């Protein structure tokens, strides 16, 4: 069975996850949040004090990750424990940026991502989906926005938390992640040559969704 795969790449805070979730729901596709996979590995490394690349690589065989869809919502389990909420912290975000630069970690998660794409119509978001994971995706999109805008969005999301970092701290983390992700030796963050660039800095959520749905309708001949 031929499946349809849509790749959405871009830097942290560009809106990839929320946009991909909305579009996949509209199309009846499965949403695959690859960033959550790397966050889960980072959480495992944190919980087991695996502070070096070598220690983490040796422990990869002990890491069991599953993606489940409950009521249309993606839930992620680590060694049979639901960690969906535990992986959404600034510390784990930075950890994910670190572990994603490790070739053995990328290889470890690569097969899971490819399997999902072979078996389902998917929208997959991440840093290297269009360039490495799904180079033959039916449609590739690169979402971006200014660092100030991305930091503002993240700050609004986290504002109600008691330990919410300041806007300046969030912006500094985003800039650091941008540098790390785009300069890593293995599968750096970059726009695929055939990806459509969408800058969401001055666009609303629904405006971005409509633009992408129009692209899907035009290029993939899918009724939306």
Sheet of strand 73-78, all strands in order from the earlier edge strand to the far edge: 65-70, 73-78, 81-82
**Is residue 201 included in any domain, yes or no?**
yes
Model confidence pLDDT, tens digit, residues 196-211: 999 999 999 999 999 9
- Continuous H helices in the chain: 16-27, 34-47, 53-59, 90-99, 103-119, 147-158, 167-183, 205-220
> In 3-state terms, what secondary structure has residue 70?
strand
- d(C-alpha 184, C-alpha 97), whole Å: 9
**Is residue 134 included in any domain, yes or no?**
yes
pLDDT at 222 over 90: no
The answer to whether the beta carbons of residues 19 and 8 sit under 8 Å apart is: yes
- pLDDT value at residue 164: 82
Model confidence pLDDT, tens digit, residues 119-137: 889 999 988 899 999 999 9
**Is residue 115 included in any domain, yes or no?**
yes
* pTM as predicted: 0.79
The count of domains in the chain is: 1
Total residues found in the chain within this entry: 224
**Is residue 156 included in any domain, yes or no?**
yes
pLDDT confidence tier of residue 73, bands split at 50, 70 and 90: confident
**Is residue 43 included in any domain, yes or no?**
yes
Model confidence pLDDT, tens digit, residues 145-193: 999 999 999 898 888 777 788 899 999 999 998 998 899 888 889 999 9
**Is residue 212 included in any domain, yes or no?**
yes
Whichever domain contains 168, its CATH number is: 3.40.50.300
**Is residue 224 included in any domain, yes or no?**
no
Supply the range of the domain harboring residue 9: 5-217
- Secondary structure letter of residue 133 according to DSSP: I
Label the pairing between strands 65-70 and 196-199.
Answer: unpaired
CA 87-207-142 angle, to 5 degrees, is 55
**Is residue 164 included in any domain, yes or no?**
yes
Model confidence pLDDT, tens digit, residues 5-45: 999 999 988 999 899 999 998 998 888 888 889 999 999 99
pLDDT confidence tier of residue 71, bands split at 50, 70 and 90: low
């Amino acid at each position: 069975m031929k499946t349809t795969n849509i790749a959405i790449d871009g830097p942290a805070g560009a809106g990839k996850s929320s946009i991909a979730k909305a579009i996949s729901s509209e199309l009846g596709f499965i949403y695959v949040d690859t960033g959550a996979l790397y966050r889960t590995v980072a959480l495992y490394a944190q919980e087991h004090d695996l502070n070096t690349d070598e220690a983490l690589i040796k422990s990869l065989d002990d890491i069991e990750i599953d993606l489940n869809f409950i009521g249309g919502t993606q839930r992620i389990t680590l060694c049979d424990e639901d960690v969906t909420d535990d992986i959404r912290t600034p510390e784990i975000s930075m950890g994910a940026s670190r572990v994603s630069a490790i070739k053995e970690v990328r290889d470890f998660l690569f097969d899971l991502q490819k399997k999902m794409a072979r078996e389902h119509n998917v929208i997959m978001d991440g840093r290297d989906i269009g360039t490495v994971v799904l180079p033959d995706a039916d449609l590739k999109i690169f979402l971006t926005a200014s660092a100030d805008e991305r930091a503002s969005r993240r700050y609004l999301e986290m504002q109600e938390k008691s330990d919410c970092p300041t806007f300046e701290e969030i912006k500094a983390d985003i800039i650091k992640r941008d540098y790390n992700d785009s300069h890593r030796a293995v599968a750096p963050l970059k726009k695929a040559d055939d990806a459509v660039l969408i800058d969401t800095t001055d666009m609303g959520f629904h405006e971005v969704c409509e633009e992408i749905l129009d692209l899907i309708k035009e290029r993939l001949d899918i009724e939306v």
